[in-house]
Structure 1
Amino acid sequence: MENFDRNVFVNCPFDRDYKPLLLSIIFTIKYLGYLPRLSLESLDSSESRISKIANLINESKFGIHDLSRIMSSTENEPYRMNMPFELGIDYGTKFLKGGAWSRKKILILEKEKYRYQVALSDLSGSDIINHNDDAATVMKEVRDWFVVSESISAHSGNKIWQKFNEFHAYLYDRAVMNDGHESIEHLQIAEILKHIDNWLTNVNADIKDVA
């Protein structure tokens, strides 16, 4: 499986309110040298959503799952079950498929500590990380998870956050000022991933030039 050991399946909300956290997560993954994989990376009407998700999970050693939208926000609003469903597929792949998939590593995120137990008590006793809907916090938690689980060295969460803000300014200049998009929120995930790659390439080139 190509890039299995670097692929990171990202299962999170795609609504506008969550967008700053999503950008923070995928930037951190890219910054650390891994490859974020999301269902929004391609739009192919001939492929069912669940088939696409199952393939991404199958191709990814890592899974980051945010359950912060499983709780209803208003009366009579149903739970949003897509994210726990996809988490279940990832767990099943890890524990039932064997082989390389037994090496899978999973990070579960939530907005508030222990809140998930009301809707998903089977996860009681698991190490669930809460982020309080804060982009800087989720960045630090994702960074720390990779450092511990993969025994890698990396810049601090504060340093990566600083770089993310530099990238965000670059993204605004390129997408809004140069390309005429109404706002960054109107960019597709595939576009943002390319902009991250371009920015990181330029930053690394500048570092080499200085050295």
Structure 2
Amino acid sequence: MTPSPPFELSVFINCPFDEDYAPLLQAIAFCVTDLGLHPRIAPENSDNSANRLDRVVGLIRGSMYGIHDLSRCKAAKAGEHSRLNMSFELGIDHACALFGRSPLRGKKVLVLEDTQYDYQKSLSDIAGWDIQCHGGDFVKVVRIVVNWLSGKTKGTPMGASRVQGNYITFQEWYWKREIGRGASQEDIKAYPTIQVLFAMNEWVSLGRPS
């Protein structure tokens, strides 16, 4: 079993895992990876002997940072239920920081939403927090995440534009490699996000090849 990354270098990402959200999730994960930290998402733990909530709690407790996107906490059409998982996991993270022992009390949280002030309709208790709005734009979410993590990482700081450029370079490298291995474009699009995250780590460890 691969050992878990250190607490102080781990970033729990709480967001939807559907196809529509995948570009945002992958952009967020790339920011984290490119800045020398480790993205932690629930699908990384495939141990079916543990229920999903226990796996999520373990990731939250093992991560100093938490990025929580509340943009899907509302119903999209009549008769549809709102999705509460993301706000529930934000509450767990906040409780860890409030009531946990050191080092949990040093946890930091970034809350994202799609449309400004949407969260107030379903989670008004966090009014006054610095909620960041991305509008479904992966370029904007890169800027938000890079700025939030600025000063929290080791090594030479990187600006958002540089990270965005690195992301394009990574994608070109990754697609070229996978096609060279016999994958089609549709195959690559269907890859699970956790597989793409492994490739991001590999790309950084190889010195960010072009």
Shared fold (TM-score greater than 0.5)? yes
| Structure 1: distance between partners of 2:182 and 2:111 | 36
CA contact under 8 A between 2:64 and 2:104: conserved in structure 1?
yes
| Structure 2: distance between partners of 1:123 and 1:148 | 25
One of 201, 204, 207 as aligned partner of 1:203? 207
SS in 2 for 1:5: helix
- Structure with more helix by fraction: 1
Are 1:29 and 2:54 matched, yes or no?
no
Give the match for residue 135 of structure 1: 138
Are 1:190 and 2:197 matched, yes or no?
no
Give the match for residue 93 of structure 1: 96
CA contact under 8 A between 1:64 and 1:109: conserved in structure 2?
yes
TM-score normalized by the length of structure 1: 0.91
CA contact under 8 A between 1:24 and 1:138: conserved in structure 2?
yes
| Structure 2: distance between partners of 1:138 and 1:17 | 15
- Please give the root-mean-square deviation of Cα atoms over the aligned residues, in Å: 2.0
Give the match for residue 127 of structure 2: 124
| Structure 1: distance between partners of 2:31 and 2:100 | 29
Task: Classify 1:14/1:71 alpha carbon distance in 2 versus 1 (closer, same or farther; 3 Å).
Answer: same
Give the match for residue 160 of structure 2: 157
CA contact under 8 A between 1:171 and 1:195: conserved in structure 2?
yes
Percent identical pairs in the alignment equals 33
Give the match for residue 173 of structure 2: 170
Of residues 183-192 and 15-24 in structure 1, the stretch that sits farther from structure 2 once superposed is: 183-192
| Structure 1: distance between partners of 2:202 and 2:53 | 31
**Could you give the per-residue CA deviations for residues 107-159 of structure 1, whole angstroms, max 9, x where no partner exists?**
00000111110010001111000000000110110000011556975221111
CA contact under 8 A between 1:7 and 1:60: conserved in structure 2?
yes
